A and B are shown apart, each in its own frame.
Chain A
Amino acid sequence: MSSLLRLATAGSVDDGKSTLVGRLLYDTKSVLADQLDAIERASVDKGMTTPDLSLLVDGLRSEREQGITIDVAYRYFATPNRSFVLADTPGHVQYTRNTVTGASTAQLGVLLVDARNGVVEQTRRHAAVLAMLGVPRLVLAVNKVDLIDYDEAAFTVIAKEFAAHATSLGYAEGTVLAIPVSALQGDNVATKSENTPWYSGPTLLEHLEEVPVAPDPHEAPFRMPVQYVIRPRTPEYPDYRGYAGQIAAGTVRPGDEVVVLPQGLKSTVESVDTADGSLDEAGTGKSITVVLSDDLDITRGDVIAAADNAPKVTDEFTAALCWLSSKQLEPGARVLVKQGTRTVQAMVEELNARFDEQTLSIVDAPEKLELNEIGNVSLRLAEQLPVDDYTVSPRTGAFIVIDPKDGDTLAAGLVGHRFSQLKGVTEPEVA
Chain B
Amino acid sequence: MTTLEAAADAARDNLAALESEAIHIFREVAGEFDRPVILFSGGKDSTLLLHLAIKAFWPAPVPFPLLHVDTGHNFDEVIAFRDHVVEKYGLRLVVASVQDYIDDGRLVERADGTRNPLQTQPLLDAIADNKFDAVFGGGRRDEERARAKERIFSLRSAFGQWDPRRQRPELWNLYNGRHRPGEHVRVFPLSNFTEADVWNYIAREQVELPSIYYAHQRKVYSRDGMWLTEGPWGGPRADEEVHELTVRYRTVGDGSCTGAVESTASTVEEVIAEVQASRLTERGATRADDRMSEAAMEDRKREGYF
Interfacial residues, chain A to chain B (CB-CB below 8 A): 1-4, 32-35, 38, 42, 57-62, 70-76, 78, 80-83, 85, 97-98, 100-101, 104-105, 227-228, 230-234, 236-237, 240, 244-246, 273-276, 285-287, 289, 300, 324, 338-339, 341, 394-395, 398-400, 402, 406-409, 412
A300 CA to B280 CA, complexed, in Å: 44
Name the contact of B164 in the complex, choosing from A2, A3, A70, A412 (C-beta under 8 A).
A70
The verdict on B55 contacting chain A, using a C-beta distance below 8 Å, is: yes
Name the contact of B174 in the complex, choosing from A60, A100, A399 (C-beta under 8 A).
A399
The verdict on B105 contacting chain A, using a C-beta distance below 8 Å, is: no
Q: Which residue of B lies closest to A75 (CB)?
A: B148
A32 CA to B54 CA, complexed, in Å: 33
Contacts of A83 in B (CB 8 A): 10, 14, 194, 197
Name the contact of A227 in the complex, choosing from B13, B20, B28, B169 (C-beta under 8 A).
B28
Name the contact of B28 in the complex, choosing from A237, A289, A341, A412 (C-beta under 8 A).
A341
Contact yes or no, A407 B178, CB < 8 A: yes
Closest CB in chain B relative to A215 CB, distance in Å: 12
Given contacts A59-B146, A60-B298, contact A76 B13 (CB under 8 A): no
Contacts of B27 in A (CB 8 A): 227-228, 244-246, 287
Contacts of B164 in A (CB 8 A): 60, 62, 70-71
A97 CA to B167 CA, complexed, in Å: 12
Contacts of B17 in A (CB 8 A): 4, 285
Closest CB in chain A relative to B25 CB, distance in Å: 10
Contact yes or no, B31 A300, CB < 8 A: yes
The verdict on B89 contacting chain A, using a C-beta distance below 8 Å, is: no
Contact yes or no, B13 A230, CB < 8 A: no
Contacts of A275 in B (CB 8 A): 54-55, 58-59
Contact yes or no, B298 A61, CB < 8 A: yes
The secondary structure that dominates the B interface is helix
Q: Which residue of A lies closest to B57 (CB)?
A: A230
A-B contact sample (14 more), CB < 8 A, given A74-B149, A244-B57, A400-B172:
A1-B10, A57-B145, A58-B145, A61-B295, A74-B141, A76-B141, A80-B3, A104-B172, A227-B27, A230-B60, A246-B24, A338-B174, A394-B172, A398-B172
A76 CA to B147 CA, complexed, in Å: 12
Q: Which residue of A lies closest to B293 (CB)?
A: A61
Contact yes or no, B169 A97, CB < 8 A: yes
A42 CA to B54 CA, complexed, in Å: 44
Contacts of B55 in A (CB 8 A): 274-276
Contact mask for chain B residues 44-79; partner A; CB cutoff 8 A; 1 contact, 0 none:
000000000011111111000000000000000000
Contact yes or no, A246 B20, CB < 8 A: yes
Contact yes or no, A73 B10, CB < 8 A: no
Contact yes or no, B60 A38, CB < 8 A: no
Contacts of A232 in B (CB 8 A): 59-61
The secondary structure that dominates the A interface is mixed
A-B pairs with the 6 shortest C-beta distances? Answer: A407-B178, A34-B284, A3-B10, A275-B58, A59-B145, A287-B23
Contact yes or no, B146 A398, CB < 8 A: no
Contact yes or no, B192 A234, CB < 8 A: no
A57 CA to B141 CA, complexed, in Å: 12
Between B169, B194, B295, the greatest number of chain A beta carbons within 10 A of the residue's beta carbon is seen for B169
Contacts of A324 in B (CB 8 A): 169
Contact yes or no, B171 A400, CB < 8 A: yes
Contacts of B294 in A (CB 8 A): 38, 42, 61
Given contacts A3-B14, A407-B179, contact A71 B172 (CB under 8 A): no
Interfacial residues, chain B to chain A (CB-CB below 8 A): 3, 6-7, 9-14, 16-17, 19-21, 23-24, 27-28, 30-31, 54-61, 141-142, 145-146, 148-149, 164-165, 167-174, 176, 178-180, 191-192, 194, 196-197, 278-281, 284-285, 294-295, 298
A400 CA to B173 CA, complexed, in Å: 10
Q: Which residue of B lies closest to A3 (CB)?
A: B10
Contact yes or no, B169 A398, CB < 8 A: no
Contact yes or no, B280 A32, CB < 8 A: yes
Contacts of B6 in A (CB 8 A): 1, 81
Given contacts A74-B148, A287-B23, A338-B176, contact A234 B13 (CB under 8 A): no
A324 CA to B112 CA, complexed, in Å: 45
Closest CB in chain B relative to A333 CB, distance in Å: 17
Contact yes or no, A76 B142, CB < 8 A: yes
Contacts of B169 in A (CB 8 A): 72, 97-98, 100-101, 324, 409, 412
Contacts of B7 in A (CB 8 A): 80-81
Contact yes or no, A105 B172, CB < 8 A: yes
Contacts of A274 in B (CB 8 A): 55, 58
Contacts of A412 in B (CB 8 A): 169, 171
Contact yes or no, B141 A101, CB < 8 A: no
Closest CB in chain B relative to A210 CB, distance in Å: 12
Q: Which residue of B lies closest to A73 (CB)?
A: B148
Q: Which residue of A lies closest to B19 (CB)?
A: A287
Q: Which residue of B lies closest to A62 (CB)?
A: B164
Contacts of B280 in A (CB 8 A): 32-34
A400 CA to B3 CA, complexed, in Å: 42
Closest CB in chain B relative to A213 CB, distance in Å: 11
Given contacts A227-B27, A245-B27, A409-B176, contact A4 B14 (CB under 8 A): yes
Contact yes or no, B192 A32, CB < 8 A: no
Name the contact of A409 in the complex, choosing from B11, B165, B168, B179 (C-beta under 8 A).
B168
Name the contact of B281 in the complex, choosing from A32, A60, A62 (C-beta under 8 A).
A32
A398 CA to B169 CA, complexed, in Å: 14
A250 CA to B178 CA, complexed, in Å: 30
Q: Which residue of A lies closest to B295 (CB)?
A: A61
A233 CA to B59 CA, complexed, in Å: 10
Closest CB in chain B relative to A239 CB, distance in Å: 11
Contact yes or no, A246 B173, CB < 8 A: yes
Q: Can you pick out 13 interface pairs between chain A and chain B where the beta carbons lie within 8 Å of each other? A: A1-B10, A3-B12, A61-B298, A74-B148, A76-B141, A83-B10, A83-B197, A98-B169, A234-B60, A240-B60, A395-B172, A398-B174, A407-B178
